[in-house]
Amino acid sequence: MDRGTLAKILAAVAPAEAPLILEIGPGPGTLTAALAEVAPRVVAVEVDRGMVALLRETLGHRTNVEVIHGDALKVDLRSLLVERLQPGQKARVAANLPYYITSPLLFRLLEEDLPLDRIVVMVQREVALRMVAAPGSREYGALSVAVQYHTVPRVVARVSRGAFWPPPEVDSAVVALEVREQPAVAVPRRLFFAVVRAAFQQRRKTLANALAGGLGLERAWVEERVAAAGIDPGRRGETLSLEEFAAVARAIGPAVPDQG
């Protein structure tokens, strides 16, 4: 409901610079209408039939808006985008994510190698802080690493619960994710995230113990290999940067099962 927040989202998306904006969860279409004022094309995916009918009624006169009834967790997003883009073009995403699907939808957008160059999402403030968290901070975790592996994130705006109707129980934030041309580190993806998951599964454990337990490896061997990579095996996983996780992955990679 807050026009100032809407303006900040539009500035972050910069819809006029992209051939297509994919909006996920448009609801009654407040942002959709604003995007359509300047975007060459807006494709809005909405799961609620009632909202779809409303959107088609209120925005049906706009030739640059397409409303699709579907669940963004199930829709074939790659086909949806590729069929509407010219070769080499990249779309942008704008989404006010329902909090209960934030993580699975984010991982879909990040891991499916979609033709995207920017993702702008409204999320719970706590999630936003995790997305941009630095190593060693309380908020830093597997989500932080995943987001920063694929993108360069920044918090665009904090949004109070009073900006919505009905108001949610928590404050929100708008985060802009600049999609990297290449991942942040050069290491096989499945191997990298196998190491990351193991390191964060039991945060109280040392890195060596967490990796040995999580990956089924001998602890003494892990300690030796991690130390050889220049990293103290007694550190906790949440203190490692992406580059350090990559160094660990390279060091123990040959012994990690199903590394891909």
Condensed to tens digits (0 to 9), the pLDDT of residues 203-225 reads 889 999 999 999 999 999 999 99
The percent of residues above 70 in pLDDT, for the chain, comes to 98
| Complete edge-to-edge strand list for the sheet that includes strand 91-96 | 65-69, 42-46, 21-24, 91-96, 116-124, 172-179, 151-159
- The pTM for the full model equals 0.93
Q: What is the reported pLDDT for 202?
A: 84
* Residue 99, SS3 per DSSP: helix
Residues 222, 233 contacting (CB under 8 angstroms): yes
Residue 97 has pLDDT above 90, yes or no: no
Which residue in 97, 92, 113 sits closest to 11, CA to CA?
92
Question: Residue 259: its pLDDT value, please?
Answer: 58
What is the predicted pLDDT for the residue at 141? Answer: 95
Residue 169: pLDDT band with limits 50, 70, 90: confident
- Residue 1 confidence (pLDDT): 64
Residue identified by tokens 């074939």 is: 76
In the chain the domains, ranked by start, together with CATH numbers, are 3-179 (3.40.50.150), 189-255 (1.10.8.100)
pLDDT at 168: 75
Q: What is the model's pLDDT at position 167?
A: 75
Can you give the pLDDT at residue 160? 84
pLDDT tens figures, 57-87: 999 999 999 999 999 999 999 999 999 999 9
Tens-digit pLDDT profile for residues 110-137: 999 999 999 999 999 999 999 999 999 9
220, two tokens: 């003494």
* 98 has pLDDT over 80: no
Q: How confident is the model at residue 258 (pLDDT cuts 50, 70, 90)?
A: low
Whether 201 and 188 have beta carbons less than 8 Å apart is answered as: no
What DSSP element (H or E) covers 120? strand 116-124
Per-residue DSSP letters for 230-256? Answer: T--TTS-GGG--HHHHHHHHHHHGGGS
pLDDT at 246: 98
How far is 174 from 212, CA to CA, in rounded Å? 38
Q: What is the predicted pLDDT for the residue at 203?
A: 83
Quick one: which of 260, 195, 186 has its CA closest to 225? 195
Q: How many residues does the chain have?
A: 260
Lowest mean pLDDT among 76-80, 105-109, 163-167, 226-230: 163-167
Q: Quick check: 198 and 214 in contact, CB under 8 A?
A: yes
- Asked whether the predicted pLDDT for residue 185 surpasses 80, the reply is yes
pLDDT of residue 100: 84
Cβ proximity of 106 and 147 under 8 Å: yes
Q: Do 38 and 92 touch, CB atoms closer than 8 A?
A: no
Using only C-alpha atoms, what is the Rg of the chain? 21
Contact 177, 156 (CB under 8 A): no
Q: At residue 6, does pLDDT exceed 60?
A: yes
- Is the confidence at residue 260, as pLDDT, over 60? no
